[in-house]
Each structure stands twice: as structure tokens, then as C-alpha cells.
């Protein structure tokens, strides 16, 4: 698991030695000393950095008071030290992200998850250039927006969270930590007052129904996102569908390239109600019942949180009915 980080959000901190905000160069020096000491104490520890408050992408900042880019400068300084001393002091790259300030426009908000498809590959390239190796990426704090700013509705936030987690899974980000676990305000938490689950928690419930191995999919088509996983034996596949539109959509699951048109997998039509998220699990050769877990994000003025509903596929008598996904 993730071991340790040194000074969270150093780009916002005062360096006690100077009385001014940390520069990248100063932080690199302090980080190296910390990591060397930690690895000497525990050679198995994993130390991540730079743990900056935001990362907007290669060349985009944030920067220090001297104009040096935090991520690029950190990786360059650490990489130079590692090569000069033939040691490893950085075991992974970590940063925080609050994606939207005063997030209100729903369509821009829901389409914003696509930025990870550019940011993460660009970060891997920076890592390779400066460290001459790849390391895990950890998004150690994430939420919709900074505290005390306008937030999207609870329902849209849940759809964004599901699509963001799926995108980060596709980009094989190693660690993701939600920034607010319990509370009553915004940005949204997993539990409300009285430990009541929120729509964000229901998203986590759905993800717990996925399998452990990613199956990369080449295409995504709005307004429905789809993510695929399978178990170690390749005998169970779980698909996550996210309908980001207010209208019902139909997803068709069918096996391709089957010899003599005989497939070990069931073909299914899946009804996706407006603003719903559905996990469909299929079993090879009928080794188990195909099933679905679904959650409908609440409407804008709905303060309640529905349940994740379980259904066995194949019991749907009316193909046009939307109460059951399959």
C-alpha cells in the first residue's frame, strides 16, 4: 500500500528555514533528506511525492515564486539525485485535485472527466523523462470542488464520481483517495450526518461489485460510459454502465468473433434509466446467474439517497420496461 508522503501540499506551505513559501528547489532538498532517512529506517517503505495541492498537467502548473513548475522541477531534481547517487528515493508520484471551482454547468462538469485521458499519460511521460523508469501514480485527495464553493447537485456529483473513478481505473492510477469521508456540507462526502450513506457512497458500492482485473475498452460513446473488468480465471466479467443523460438508454452486450456463432457468454440488452449507473456481471458458460446492480442518482431537489438494487437477469418479461436493467 501507499507508505508515506512528506509535507502535504508543499506548494502552499511556509518553509520554516526562510519564512517564505517553499520553492521547488528547497522542497526537493528536504524531500530527499526525509526519504533517505525513511528508507534507511525501513527499506520496504514506499515514499510518494511531491503531494502538491493541484496538478493541471505538463507545463500547466502550479509554479513556485520563481516560476518553476512544481511537478517538473520536483521530478527533475529527484531524478538527478537518484542517478548521481545510484539510489531510489521516490517510489511513486502523488498529488491532489479539486476539479471544479464553483461547478454549476452540468454538461461541462460531466464532460470534465475526459481530462484524465490526457493528464495521466502526460504525467507518465514526465516521470519516464526525469526518472528513467515508471512509478505508480497516487491521487491522494480528490473531490468535485474546493470547500465553501458552489457545488454541483448531489446526483450530478455521483455521476461525475463514477465516471471519474472509471476513467482513473482505465488509466491505471494505482491509488485514489476521496477527500471527504463524513460531513454535511460540500464538497460532498461518503456519509452525511448520522452516518447516512450519500450518493457518492452508493458509487463506491457499485465499484465493489466489479472484478479485480481491468479490461481496457477502445471506445467510449456519450452519454453512456462503459468500463469492463474480469476475474483472474476469465470466467466472470463485470461491466459498469453510466448513463449521464436524463433519458433511458439501451446498451447491448454481445460476444464477438464466436466460432460457428456459439458463444460461452450470454447476450443481453440492458436498460439504463436516466442518470443511472448499472453493474452487469456475466458468467462464462452459464456457471452462475447473470445479475445487475443499479443505482439512480437523485434529482436536483431530492435530498434522499436510494439503495443499490440487485436483480437477476433474464426475469424481464417486457423488453421495453425499464424497472429492471436486464
Domains of the chain: 4-200 (3.20.20.80), 215-312 (2.60.40)
Per-residue pLDDT of the chain (326 residues; tens, 9 = 90+): 455 556 789 999 999 999 999 999 999 999 999 999 999 999 999 999 999 999 999 999 999 999 999 999 999 999 999 999 999 999 999 999 876 655 556 666 777 788 899 999 999 999 999 999 999 999 998 887 766 677 778 898 899 999 999 999 999 999 998 877 555 455 688 888 778 899 999 999 999 999 999 998 876 677 899 999 999 999 999 999 999 999 999 988 887 655 445 567 878 889 999 999 999 999 987 666 899 999 999 987 678 899 999 999 887 766 666 778 98
Q: DSSP H helical segments within 132-246, as ranges?
A: 154-170, 199-207
Question: In terms of residues, how long is the chain?
Answer: 326
Instruction: Compute the C-alpha angle 149/155/156, nearest 5°.
Output: 65
The percent helix, strand, coil of the chain (3-state, each to 5) is 30, 25, 45
CB 28 within 8 A of CB 80: no
Amino acid at each position: 500500500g501507499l507508505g508515506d508522503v512528506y509535507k502535504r501540499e508543499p506548494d502552499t506551505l511556509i518553509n520554516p528555514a526562510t519564512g517564505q513559501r517553499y520553492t521547488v528547489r528547497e522542497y526537493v532538498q528536504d524531500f530527499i533528506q526525509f526519504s533517505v532517512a525513511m528508507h534507511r529506517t525501513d527499506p520496504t517503505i514506499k515514499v510518494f511525492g511531491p503531494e502538491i495541492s493541484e496538478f493541471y498537467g505538463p507545463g500547466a502548473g502550479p509554479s513556485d515564486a520563481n516560476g518553476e513548475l512544481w511537478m517538473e522541477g520536483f521530478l527533475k531534481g529527484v531524478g538527478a539525485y537518484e542517478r548521481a547517487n545510484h539510489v531510489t528515493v521516490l517510489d511513486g508520484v502523488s498529488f491532489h485535485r479539486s476539479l471544479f471551482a464553483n461547478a454549476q454547468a452540468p454538461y461541462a462538469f460531466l464532460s470534465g472527466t475526459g481530462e484524465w485521458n490526457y493528464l495521466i499519460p502526460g504525467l507518465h511521460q514526465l516521470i519516464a523523462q526525469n526518472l528513467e523508469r515508471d512509478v505508480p501514480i497516487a491521487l491522494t485527495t480528490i473531490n468535485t470542488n474546493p470547500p465553501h464553493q458552489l457545488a454541483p447537485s448531489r446526483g450530478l456529483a455521483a455521476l461525475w464520481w463514477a465516471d471519474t473513478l472509471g476513467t482513473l481505473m482505465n488509466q491505471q492510477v494505482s491509488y485514489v483517495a476521496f477527500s471527504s469521508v463524513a460531513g454535511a456540507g460540500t464538497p460532498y462526502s461518503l456519509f452525511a450526518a448520522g452516518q447516512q450513506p450519500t450518493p457518492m457512497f452508493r458509487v463506491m458500492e457499485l465499484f465493489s461489485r466489479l472484478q479485480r482485473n481491468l479490461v481496457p475498452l477502445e471506445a467510449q460513446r456519450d452519454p453512456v460510459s462503459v468500463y469492463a473488468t474480469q476475474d483472474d480465471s476469465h470466467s466472470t466479467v463485470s461491466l459498469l454502465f453510466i448513463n449521464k443523460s436524463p433519458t433511458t438508454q439501451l446498451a447491448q452486450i454481445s460476444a464477438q468473433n464466436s466460432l460457428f456463432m456459439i458463444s460461452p457468454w450470454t447476450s443481453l440488452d440492458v436498460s439504463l434509466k436516466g442518470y443511472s449507473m448499472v453493474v452487469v456481471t456475466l458468467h462464462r458458460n452459464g456457471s452462475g446467474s447473470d445479475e445487475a446492480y443499479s443505482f439512480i442518482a437523485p434529482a436536483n431537489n431530492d435530498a434522499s439517497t436510494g439503495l443499490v438494487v440487485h436483480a437477476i437477469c433474464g426475469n424481464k418479461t417486457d423488453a421495453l420496461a425499464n424497472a429492471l436493467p436486464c
